[in-house]
């Protein structure tokens, strides 16, 4: 693992407490309840686990789109999520409102090979607001309430550091 860095601002995701905090100069600026991987922490492709370690925001997707915009393959479908959609597609893993696509920074741990966070398509993203937060339920991504992901999206930039820890 890389040695600890202390950027002026970074996102800290705590898998144990299911929280995401935006830290500015070492102080919590904002904190949110999230949902990480149902299969726990882990880096292997296909595991549906949430990868640990240092990452960066590779891309921000969805700027200025309506809240509850539906994404498939990182592209907006033109649909707005509704409860009827959820009834029609009950097993779908909904990606809504905004996407912060993560890229690992630690070769051999969360970058390259079968442990590559970016190639695993791990995001911080919105989900239906009736999905539980505070418990691990995702397929490896970090799920947030739609209003929370929009708020976070608006204050971070591509390259913004993200630390995911147990």
Cα–Cα distance measured from residue 80 to residue 94, given in angstroms and rounded to the nearest whole number: 11
Output the CA torsion 24→28→30→31 (10° steps).
140
Residues 103, 117 contacting (CB under 8 angstroms): yes
Which stretches of 23-77 are DSSP H helices? none
- Please give the average per-residue pLDDT across 129-151, as a whole number: 97
Among 33, 25, 53, 52, which Cα is nearest to 41's? 52
Cα–Cα distance measured from residue 20 to residue 135, given in angstroms and rounded to the nearest whole number: 13
pTM across the whole model:
0.94
Query: How much is the pLDDT for 158?
Result: 95
Report how far Cα 23 is from the mean position of its chain's Cα atoms. Answer: 16
- pLDDT surpasses 70 at 9: yes
Query: Confidence class of residue 1 from pLDDT cuts 50, 70 and 90?
Result: very low
Query: Which three-class secondary structure string do you get for 91-160?
Result: CCCCCEEEEEEEEECCECCCECHHHCCCCCCCEEEECCCCCCCCCCCECCCEEECHHHHHHHHCCCCCCC
Residue pLDDT, tens place only, 59-111: 999 999 999 999 999 999 999 999 999 999 988 899 999 999 999 999 999 99
Give the CA distances from residue 86 to residues 76, 125, 135, in Å, rounded to whole numbers and listed in that order: 17, 17, 20
Cα–Cα distance measured from residue 30 to residue 153, given in angstroms and rounded to the nearest whole number: 13
Query: How much is the pLDDT for 135?
Result: 97
Residue pLDDT, tens place only, 24-71: 988 999 999 999 999 999 999 999 999 999 999 999 999 999 999 999
Strand partners for 33? 19
- Please give the average per-residue pLDDT across 110-137, as a whole number: 97
Delineate the domains of the chain, giving CATH numbers in brackets: 9-165 (2.40.440.10)
């Amino acid at each position: 693992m890389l040695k600890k860095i202390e950027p002026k601002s970074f996102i800290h995701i705590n898998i144990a407490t299911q929280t995401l905090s935006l830290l500015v100069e070492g102080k919590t600026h904002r904190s949110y309840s999230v949902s990480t991987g149902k299969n726990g922490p882990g880096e292997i492709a296909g595991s549906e686990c949430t990868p640990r370690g240092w990452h960066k925001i590779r891309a921000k997707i969805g700027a200025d789109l309506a809240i509850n915009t539906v994404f498939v393959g990182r592209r907006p479908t033109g649909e707005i999520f509704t409860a009827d959609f959820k009834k029609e597609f009950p097993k779908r893993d909904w990606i809504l409102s905004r996407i912060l696509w993560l890229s690992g920074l630690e070769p051999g741990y969360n970058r390259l090979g079968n442990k590559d966070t970016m190639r695993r398509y791990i995001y911080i993203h919105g989900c239906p607001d009736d999905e539980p937060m505070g418990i691990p339920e995702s397929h490896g991504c970090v799920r947030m309430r739609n209003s929370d992901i929009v708020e976070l999206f608006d204050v971070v930039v591509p390259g913004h550091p993200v630390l995911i820890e147990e």
